[in-house]
Amino acid sequence: QSVLTQPPSVSATPGQKVTISCSGSSFNIANNYVSWYQQLPGTAPKLLIYENNKRPSGIPDRFSGSKSGTSATLGITGLQTGDEADYYCGTWDSSLSAGVFGTGTKVNVV
Amino acid sequence: QLQLQESGPGLVKPSETLSLTCTVSGGSISSRDYYWGWIRQPPGKGLEWIGSIYYSGSTYYNPSLKSRVTISVDTSKNQFSLKLSSVTAADTAVYYCATLPAAVMTPDAWGQGTLVTVSS
């Protein structure tokens, strides 16, 4: 069972904006960096956001991350059909002394 | 840029030990900037963090798997390995190796993953 909670799915039309929440606790999100990953069907996860709000080279600025207290949020603007994928948050849990991932959110572009 | 490649048997019998190796290229596994980790994903399900190791041999394990997991590092081969004992069908998953920057302890670069099926 995942320590971090995400909505199972979000849907929007091309061009719109979606946000994905990741809810945790003082042991994980509140006191550690959050990363976000995109997993296209049949592929390995890909880093989208690290250290809460930084984008690796090559990730478009349509993707953004933020954190407040025990929650983090991924935003995707100008939604494209190619953004249809599963998205996961991840962080360190200081109580478990282990990494933890969110439950995952499927983004549907309808 | 660091690249990782998993290798090992794709089929393991119940009660036996799953063994996988991750080969690192494009950098040294002795780097002080990274931990080296294993993550798995059962078919159709989410990601599960298994554990990580530093070049010095220091490890962190998922508490739910700790009794069955061993992660080791071979700096001479630029590889690190995963052993998971007493496997059952519930351990069937795609297993990924990844780099974990020491400052954040969450994965950045991932291997392509390898499917391990537990079946007799």
| pLDDT per residue as tens digits for the range B11-23 | 999 999 999 999 9
Cβ of residue A100 closer than 8 Å to a chain B Cβ: yes
Mutation choice for B interface testing from A35, A39, A57 by most B CBs within 10 A: A35
Q: Do A45 and B107 touch (CB under 8 A)?
A: yes
Residue A1 above 70 pLDDT?
Answer: no
Least Cα separation, residue B41 to chain A (angstroms)? 10
- Show residues of chain A in contact with B39, CB under 8 Å: 99, 101
> Which of A29, A27, A47 minimizes the C-alpha distance to B63?
A27
Q: Do B46 and A96 touch (CB under 8 A)?
A: no
Degrees to nearest 5, angle at CA B81 with B89 and A34: 85
A16 to each of A92, A93, A108, B78, how far by Cα in Å?
31, 33, 12, 45
- Show residues of chain B in contact with A47, CB under 8 Å: 107-110
| A85-93 and B69-74 strand pairing | unpaired
Mean per-residue pLDDT of chain A: 97
| Cβ proximity of A3 and A96 under 8 Å | yes
Residue A2 above 90 pLDDT?
Answer: no
Per-residue pLDDT reduced to its tens digit, B29-86: 999 999 999 999 999 999 999 999 999 999 999 999 999 999 999 999 999 999 999 9
Percent of chain A topping pLDDT 90: 97
Q: What does the pLDDT read at residue A44?
A: 98
Q: Do B110 and A45 touch (CB under 8 A)?
A: yes
